[in-house]
Structure 1
Amino acid sequence: MISRIILKSSLPCRNTLPWRSLFSRGLADKPKFDAEMSEMYVIIANQHRHPQGPWPMILERAKKHLSSNPSPKILDIASGMGEPALTIATSLPSAQVVSSDVSEEMVLKAKSVAETMDNMTAVLANAEDLSQFDTDTFDMVTCCYGYMFAENKPQALSESHRVLKPGGTLIATTWDSNDLMSVQRDVMKVVLGRDPPAPLLNPLSLNEPGLFSKLLADAGFTNITSSTSTYPFNLGKDKNFQWKMLTMLYKDKIAELGAEDTAKHAFFDIVPKYSVIENGDLVIPKNTFMLTVCNK
């Protein structure tokens, strides 16, 4: 799937508006998940297959906790185009796996994947309202990088708890630290001349120590355990793609400010701090997530 100076006087005069007004106005709506962002999503998502990435580790935990269940029912929340639901369904052929997402576009793509499987379906569902599922339905709920984006996080976790059977397991990943975000933050510090607010689509919204565990406990979950893992993102050789990928959450604000040149100069100064070059590819090596497992 991000030095500090004041905006240059050569930028268009609209940049002289109070910075808070400009930024809050520009972030009134979340960035649109357009075709370009979808392409970037696919490239980043496929890197979650890294041995130390979330998909293999979710699968490992799922197998462990379902070892005595011959035919479990599993709900995967925020599956996007169908992962890690597909990984789980492929590895556990006796399971019934439901891939769910709030985006109609993503669900359509997940359905095309599910059609190739006998034990996987894909549905449109909002994590904050799973009323289409009965209480005590699933043996397991999985969620890879989804709960961070819920507007009402307690409600989303409460719904996950409700649809689990008593004793059922929740496996979730959330970002602990992410240098893709570090690059974007540092670029915006240059553009704005001060620390930027967090983006509305904030992958780090649950990285405060103890916050996610507290929300889980408040939702009724028990036996809460967490561990961390770090894996790299390979952004290839295309510098234009690297620029777009590493500024995508702020691209509308950069465009609104007319600050593309300032942001690009800052980007190419900043990105070496967080990256290494491997076989000509730009690699961001330090992206750490928290894997949390708990029970109803």
Structure 2
Amino acid sequence: MANFGNDTRFAGSIPDIYDSHLVPLIFEPYAADLAKRVAALHPSRVLETAAGTGVVTRAMAHALPTHVDLVATDLNQPMLDRAAAIGTARPVTWQQADAARLPFDDASFDVVVCQFGTMFFPDKTRAFSEARRVLRRGGWLLFNVWDRIEESEFANTVTAALTDLFPADPPLFMVRTPHGYFDRQMISRDIADAGFSAASRIETIAARSRAVSARVPAIAYCQGTPLRNEIDARSGASLEDATSAAVAAIARRFGTGPVDGKIQAHVVIVQR
């Protein structure tokens, strides 16, 4: 994948803006949902992959009993640094790790959970296979992925605005990666190819994304994700120009005051 390096580069100011803007905008309701599902399984040891700045980690730390061992990993150390700096309600083991090459023993976890990280894995079947390897028999893999970008209204509006701003070479990070792995049949096939014999269960959940103004989602997407790397790499308009174009597009569609847009994701559950 030619853009994989930039698509997975969360560095500089991205982790801070991601956590301050994007987490409350789109991640928190799905984090609460995943944490509730994990707690219902009564695990003794949980591994989180692609933990980012720790929104699901914090939700699980609150939802799980204190005796449950919680290990949170991410490929990007700056994201883990931000997560660790925020902290959790109880001790968590933070560890840098590649989801496709997990540094853990076979059959060492009851649950592997991943929130909106699977889309970034270059070899998804391998990552699922690694999750299966570290799961105990009867353990569970739970993850969520965004549905097609048309079902997430702010992301779609920002992408359209940047396509108008850079018509010769539009930055398509949001379409390509965060919203690029939504096909339910493909997901089920990749899980089966990874060695899971049980059928995966996929639920589609819609939620609302709200902010006090159009500028909040514009900054969240343009400056708090690797979309920023694509904008910075282009000539003809600056990052602030791109952010302003996104603000204007969101305001035209959703109003100049508080904004409210649809988001939608798939939650995938499969047993080892």
TM range (shorter): 0.7 to 0.9
Distance 2:4 2:96 in 1: 25
Unmatched segments (≥5 aa) in structure 2: none
Q: TM-score, normalised by structure 1?
A: 0.75
Shift of residue 162, structure 1, vs aligned partner: 0.7
- 3-state secondary structure, aligned to 2:104: coil
Q: 1:171 aligns to what? A: 142
Identity %: 22
Q: 1:199 aligns to what? A: 173
Q: Considering only aligned residues, what root-mean-square deviation do their CA atoms show, in Å? A: 2.9
1:281 to 251, 258, 262: 258
Matches within 5 A, 1:254-293: 254-255=231-232, 256-260=234-238, 263=242, 266-268=245-247, 270-272=249-251, 275=254, 280-283=257-260, 285-293=261-269
Residues 1:113 and 1:293: Cα distance change in structure 2 (over 3 Å) = same
Q: Residue deviations 1:15-65, cap 9 Å, x none?
A: xxxxxxxxx8xx585164234322321122134565xx2112112211222
- 3-state secondary structure, aligned to 2:90: coil
- 3-state secondary structure, aligned to 2:99: coil
> Comparing 135-144 with 177-186, which one deviates more in the overlay?
177-186
Q: TM-score, normalised by structure 2?
A: 0.81
Distance 1:264 1:116 in 2: 35
Q: 2:34 aligns to what? A: 58
AA matched with 2:191: L
1:158 to 125, 129, 135: 129
AA matched with 1:166: R
Q: How many residues align?
A: 259
Matches within 5 A, 1:211-226: 211-221=186-196, 222-226=198-202
Q: 1:208 aligns to what? A: 183
Q: 2:18 aligns to what? A: 41
Distance 1:155 1:57 in 2: 26
- Note if contact 1:114-1:122 (Cα within 8 Å) is conserved in structure 2: no
Unmatched segments (≥5 aa) in structure 1: 1-23
Alignment partner of 1:123 is 2:102: no
Distance 2:63 2:218 in 1: 36
Q: Residue deviations 1:142-192, cap 9 Å, x none?
A: 000011011221111111111001110011010013223312321233134
Point out the structure with max Rg over C-alpha. 1
